[in-house]
């Protein structure tokens, strides 16, 4: 079995098959043909993605009953309010596949203004009169575009979204496109203990 921890760059599909000329995982990482991503990150999101050919790991990490935490760093447009943070902490209602879904409680914190992350290419648009704030959010479910929908529901559009932590693994010291080979023991210790 093979296991890799990838820092997926911005504008890369979370799949090995290209679509409409968009970059995909095979353009940035060279792994066996039976390796696939566990979960997804949207084309316009960045951050940690586990790649494996071990189907049992896929089940343990993605099935909702296991409630594995994922932490995202989110750059939002506007000075987010304490009221909005409290709403997100308690859970908000978003649309998932045309149905209303109440998100599980989340853990949020305002991040330091000078977090250490690589510049994005292309960069985020800059608007002099509208501030941006970085927020950390930890969730235990992974609905389609959930974090973006959550912040939009409280009036703060997401400008940049980075999955900063999966299990005990963190993006600190990594750059977009970096790929670390993990052992089964590292996967078990990093995600299931």
- Tens digits of residue pLDDT in 46-91: 999 999 999 888 777 776 667 788 999 999 998 899 999 999 999 9
User: pTM value?
Assistant: 0.90
Which pLDDT value is given to residue 65? Answer: 65
Which pLDDT value is given to residue 16? Answer: 93
From 27, 42, 54, 178, the catalytic residue: 42
> Could you tell me the pLDDT band of residue 31, with boundaries at 50, 70 and 90?
very high
Residue 159: pLDDT over 70: yes
Asked if 1-67+168-193 and 69-166 have one fold, the answer is: yes
Instruction: Classify the C-alpha dihedral 102-137-135-143 as positive or negative.
Output: negative
Which pLDDT value is given to residue 63? Answer: 64
Averaged pLDDT for residues 137-166: 93
User: In angstroms, rounded to a whole number, what is the distance separating the alpha carbons of residues 93 and 110?
Assistant: 22
Averaged pLDDT for residues 112-135: 75
Query: Does the domain made of 69-166 have the CATH classification 3.30.70.1560?
Result: yes
CA-closest candidate to residue 80, choices 132, 25, 129: 132
Percent of the chain with pLDDT over 70: 92
Q: How far is CA 78 from CA 46, 81, 157, in A?
A: 21, 9, 8
Looking at domain 1-67+168-193, which of 3.40.50.300, 3.30.300.130, 3.30.70.580, 3.40.50.150 is its CATH number? 3.30.70.580
Percent of the chain with pLDDT over 90: 63
Residue 15: pLDDT over 90: yes
Domain boundaries, the chain: 1-67+168-193, 69-166
Residue 164: pLDDT over 90: yes
Residue 163: pLDDT over 90: yes
Please confirm, yes or no, whether 42 is among the known catalytic residues: yes
């Amino acid at each position: 079995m093979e296991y890799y921890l990838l820092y997926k760059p911005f504008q890369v599909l979370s799949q090995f098959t290209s679509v409409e000329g968009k970059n995909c995982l095979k353009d940035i990482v060279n792994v066996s043909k039976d390796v696939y991503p566990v979960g997804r990150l949207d084309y316009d999101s960045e951050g940690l993605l586990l790649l494996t050919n071990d189907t049992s790991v896929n089940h343990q990490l993605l099935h909702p009953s296991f409630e594995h935490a994922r932490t995202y760093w989110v750059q939002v447009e506007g000075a987010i309010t304490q009221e909005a943070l409290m709403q997100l902490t308690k859970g908000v209602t978003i649309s998932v596949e045309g149905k209303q879904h109440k998100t599980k409680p989340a853990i949020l914190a305002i991040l330091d203004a000078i977090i250490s992350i690589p510049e994005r290419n292309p960069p985020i648009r800059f608007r002099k009169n509208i501030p941006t704030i970085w927020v950390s959010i930890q969730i235990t479910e992974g609905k389609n575009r959930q974090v973006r929908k959550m912040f939009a529901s409280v009036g703060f559009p997401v400008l940049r979204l980075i999955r900063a932590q999966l299990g005990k693994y963190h993006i600190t010291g990594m750059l977009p496109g970096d790929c670390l080979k993990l052992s089964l023991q590292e996967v078990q210790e990093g995600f299931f203990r």
